């Protein structure tokens, strides 16, 4: 799954979490075994956990000595020493060979205390008495014992249980304090269980810490990579994904990946470890009932696979529907004034309800499918418990397992199935996270259309202004079959003012976007400082340009942070100079906070004209060689417009200026005026020249200038001629 690839950069954390989980599993799986021992040994066997008894009566010692094989006679003799009371006590040498003593004493103890368990074929008690009376040779007894022991080896579980029971009788007969021994065993085993539980808790806390830090790091890295990639996108990529979708991918999708990464480290890794460990413990305890747990694991795996197949496609649809809900909500919130002005609240509410309802139906399907998992898992767990009790009861009756083993089996089954139940719970989120990972990777793998060249050119050092020229440039926006610009050619020398005028949709703003290289020309060449903009580094190009977009946007902060946006350490006098030139100083000083006056996101707490002047001040505060004004004076009154143009001509003397405007009064003093219509150049020249030679310019002028102004321009042209 795609979501797992994000863990690849955190291999050490994955390894550490695996080791810690393995420790948790070891602790968790040891506790059922200890529970079994408490039942079987601590309660049923009064704490007697070995066949090698601590004390032995003289009669039993003599009888056992007759049955121990000759090869083991030396070890047996050295392992027990008779005390003053006639009881044979286990020596230090014997304690060093407990496993060998368990093996050699198993059958003799059973023979001494329970010959009926041997099938009744030989009465060893009578044989021992006969041997003591000299009626039977010791070799004959050993031969009979070896034959009987070989027969008993066919049922080792029965022999072991009978031997422990015989050891219990022997220690009781030898006067061993079984009550104290039982209490010591219960307290020791209980303390060990508490210690393992505490250790498991500590390891789980450490796993949670590692998982949380790793998940947070994955989320941080993805958000950083995504933001860095989106910032490098051109307008074409932003429009391709849509702003609402990019926001969803950078927030909801990454948050989902982060949460699932934590669950993978805490739960998904736990299940296979506990399954493998549980199977090993089951086989080590008793393999007779192991097949029940294997069947249960297979059933759980099939259930999870089916749910994945059913819900996977729906989760992909769900993420797309979340995008649509976000897009609809974003449009409604942004367009509230227009919605209210035209009384479209009910229509927009229905539109939002339709998108939300479709998302709800998809979520209901996935939730219903996933809600089937819990009862299905509980059914598997209960059926597994019933099967273990059923078959385990028969095994206990047959003497092949003990009661504690069956309890341990049930606990192992619950632990293993609970591990897979965790995967089932995580699987509710895994398909969504996989879709989210695919959506995030789609953005990260998207190559921006506008990239820097491998060997970029550099601007010539020095010089106040830079030349800008278009050479037979044509351009169409992505997805559009119509050209926004067609065979556009013009040029402006360094330090001059270029004005662009024309009707709505004539391509004026597109010219500025091509200069800024927000898009690349489809054909032709855009040159800045004599160089093709495609050969320049984007940072160098835009550092040389001061840009005021058509739609002024201010960032949340203060007047000062917005004007000094290009340089956080900008001197206050530079900020003040930009505000003064942009004619923003009066309304800024009128505020009690001055340049520290708060600005809301988007500049929603200032008027349109104030927002436009602050955007102009932001561009002027950046020392550039050319300034681009994209219809930046449209919200200004004529007096402010005139004052601003006069200030620009004085403050930006030597810098190149490109002005897009709708009003002739704004651009009539420009050195070069380019008239655009339907993406084509209708005329180029000075105001006086265009009034005489360009019909489109004459049409615009006649709609804005009075007859006297037009006549004065005409007289001026004739006088110049």
CA dihedral 254, 255, 257, 262 (to 10 degrees): 140
Higher pLDDT, 197 or 389: 197
Instruction: Choose between 122 and 222: higher pLDDT.
Output: 222
How many whole angstroms separate alpha carbon 289 and alpha carbon 391? 7
Given a cut of 70, whether residue 62 has pLDDT beyond it is: yes
- The 3-state DSSP class for residue 614 equals helix
How far apart are the C-alpha atoms of 212 and 266, rounded to whole Å? 9
Instruction: Say which range, 28-37, 68-77, 408-417, 522-531, has the weakest mean pLDDT.
Output: 408-417
Q: What pLDDT is stored for residue 232 in this prediction?
A: 83
Q: What is the residue extent of each domain of the chain? A: 2-27+186-444, 54-175, 462-544+625-721, 552-623
pLDDT digits (tens, 9 = 90+) for 678-713: 999 999 999 889 988 899 888 888 887 776 666 665
Q: Exposure of 101 by Cβ count < 10 A (0-12 exposed, 13-18 middle, 19+ buried)?
A: buried
Q: Higher confidence at residue 304 or residue 287?
A: 304
pLDDT at 120 over 60: no
Helix (H, G, I), strand (E, B) or coil at 629: strand
pLDDT higher than threshold 60 for residue 182? yes
Residue 645 has pLDDT above 50, yes or no: yes
Domains 462-544+625-721 and 552-623 share a fold: yes
Compute the distance between CA of residue 675 and CA of residue 508 in angstroms, rounded to an integer: 9
* Interatomic CA distance for residues 434 and 260, integer angstroms: 9
pLDDT at 675 over 70: yes
Domain 2-27+186-444 matching CATH 3.40.640.10: the answer reads: no
Instruction: Give pLDDT tens digits for 124-154.
Output: 556 556 555 555 555 655 565 565 556 555 4
**What 3-state class would DSSP assign to 666?**
helix
CA-based Rg of the chain, rounded to a whole angstrom?
Answer: 45
Which SS3 state, helix, strand or coil, does residue 395 take? helix
- Fold entry, domain 462-544+625-721: Rossmann fold (3.40.50)
**Measured CA distances, 205 to 10, 21, 200, 215, 473 (Å):** 19, 10, 9, 15, 64
Q: Does the pLDDT of residue 463 top 70, yes or no?
A: no
CATH number, domain 552-623: 3.40.50.300
Would you give the DSSP letter of residue 114?
Answer: -
pLDDT tens digits along 491-513: 999 989 999 998 888 899 999 99
pLDDT at 716: 45
3-class DSSP string for 545-610: EEEECCCCCCCCEEHHHHHCCCCCCCCHHHHHHHHHHCCCHHHHHCCCCHHHCEECHHHCCCCHHH
Query: What would the pLDDT profile of 548-590 be if each residue is shown by its tens digit?
Result: 988 888 999 999 999 999 888 899 999 999 999 999 999 999 9
For residue 211, pLDDT beyond 80: yes
Element (H, E) at 221: helix 178-231
Contact 362, 318 (CB under 8 A): yes
* pLDDT at res. 465: 83
Q: State residue 335's pLDDT score.
A: 79
Q: What is the pLDDT of residue 403?
A: 77
Q: Which residues of 703-721 are buried (b: 16+ CB within 10 A; e: fewer)?
A: eebeeeeeeebeeebeeee
């Amino acid at each position: 799954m795609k979501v797992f690839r994000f863990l690849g950069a955190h291999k050490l954390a994955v390894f550490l979490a695996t080791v810690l989980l393995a420790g948790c599993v070891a602790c968790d799986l040891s506790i059922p075994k200890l529970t079994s021992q408490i039942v079987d040994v601590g309660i049923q066997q009064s704490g007697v956990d070995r066949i090698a008894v601590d004390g032995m009566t003289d009669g039993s010692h003599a009888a056992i000595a007759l049955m121990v094989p000759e090869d083991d006679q030396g070890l047996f003799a050295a392992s027990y020493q008779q005390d003053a009371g006639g009881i044979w006590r286990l020596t230090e040498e014997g304690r060093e060979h407990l496993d060998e003593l368990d093996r050699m004493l198993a059958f003799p103890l059973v023979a001494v205390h329970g010959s009926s368990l041997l099938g009744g074929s030989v009465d060893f008690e009578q044989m021992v008495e006969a041997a003591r009376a000299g009626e039977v040779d010791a070799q004959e007894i050993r031969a009979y014992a070896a034959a009987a022991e070989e027969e008993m080896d066919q049922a080792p579980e029965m022999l072991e249980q009978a031997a422990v029971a015989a050891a219990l009788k022997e220690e009781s007969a030898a006067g061993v304090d079984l009550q104290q021994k039982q209490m010591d065993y219960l307290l020791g085993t209980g303390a060990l269980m508490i210690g393992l539980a505490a250790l498991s808790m500590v390891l789980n806390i450490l796993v949670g810490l590692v998982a949380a830090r790793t998940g947070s790091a994955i989320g941080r890295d993805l958000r950083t990579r995504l933001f860095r990639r989106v910032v490098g996108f051109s307008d074409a990529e932003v429009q391709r994904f849509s702003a609402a979708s990019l926001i969803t991918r950078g927030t909801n999708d990454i948050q989902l990946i982060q949460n699932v990464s934590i669950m993978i480290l805490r739960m998904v890794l736990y299940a296979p470890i506990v399954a493998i460990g549980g199977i090993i413990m089951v086989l080590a305890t008793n393999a007779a009932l192991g097949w029940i747990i294997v069947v249960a694991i297979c059933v759980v795996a099939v259930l999870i696979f089916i749910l994945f197949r059913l819900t996977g496609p729906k989760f992909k649809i769900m993420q797309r529907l979340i995008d649509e809900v976000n897009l609809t909500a974003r449009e409604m919130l942004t367009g509230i004034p227009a919605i209210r002005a035209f009384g479209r609240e009910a229509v927009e509410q229905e539109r939002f309800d339709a998108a939300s309802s479709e998302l709800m139906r998809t979520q209901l399907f996935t939730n219903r499918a996933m809600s089937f998992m819990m009862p299905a898992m509980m059914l598997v767990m209960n059926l597994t418990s019933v099967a273990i009790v059923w078959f385990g009861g028969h095994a206990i009756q047959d003497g092949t397992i003990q009661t504690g083993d069956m309890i341990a089996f049930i606990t192992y089954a619950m632990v293993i199935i609970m591990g897979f139940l965790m995967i089932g719970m995580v699987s509710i989120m895994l398909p969504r996270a996989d879709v989210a990972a695919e959506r995030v990777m789609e953005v990260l793998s998207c190559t921006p259309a506008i990239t820097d060249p491998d060997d970029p050119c550099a601007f010539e050092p020095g010089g106040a202004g830079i030349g800008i020229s278009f050479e037979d440039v044509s351009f169409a926006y992505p997805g559009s079959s119509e050209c926004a610009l067609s065979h556009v050619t013009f040029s402006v020398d360094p330090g001059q003012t270029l004005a662009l005028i024309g009707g709505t949709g004539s391509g004026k703003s597109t010219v500025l976007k091509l200069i800024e290289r927000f898009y690349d020309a489809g054909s032709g060449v855009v040159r800045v400082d004599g160089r093709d903009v495609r050969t320049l580094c984007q940072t160098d190009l835009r550092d040389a340009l001061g840009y005021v977009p058509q739609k002024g946007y201010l960032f949340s902060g203060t007047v000062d942070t917005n004007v000094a946006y290009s340089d956080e350490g900008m001197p206050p006098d530079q900020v003040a100079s930009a505000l003064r030139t942009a004619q923003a100083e009066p309304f800024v000083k009128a505020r009690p906070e001055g340049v520290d006056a708060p600005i809301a996101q988007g500049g929603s707490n200032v008027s349109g004209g104030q927002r436009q002047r602050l955007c102009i001040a932001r561009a002027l505060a950046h020392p550039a060689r050319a300034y681009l004004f994209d219809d930046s004076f449209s919200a200004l009154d004529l007096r402010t417009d005139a004052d601003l143009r006069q200030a620009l001509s004085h403050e930006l003397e030597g810098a190149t200026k490109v002005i897009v405007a709708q009003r002739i009064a704004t651009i009539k003093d420009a050195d070069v005026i380019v008239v655009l219509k339907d993406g084509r150049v209708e005329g180029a020249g000075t105001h006086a020249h265009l009034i005489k030679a360009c019909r489109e310019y004459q049409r615009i002028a006649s709609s804005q200038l009075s007859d006297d102004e037009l006549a004065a321009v005409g007289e001026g042209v004739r006088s110049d001629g």
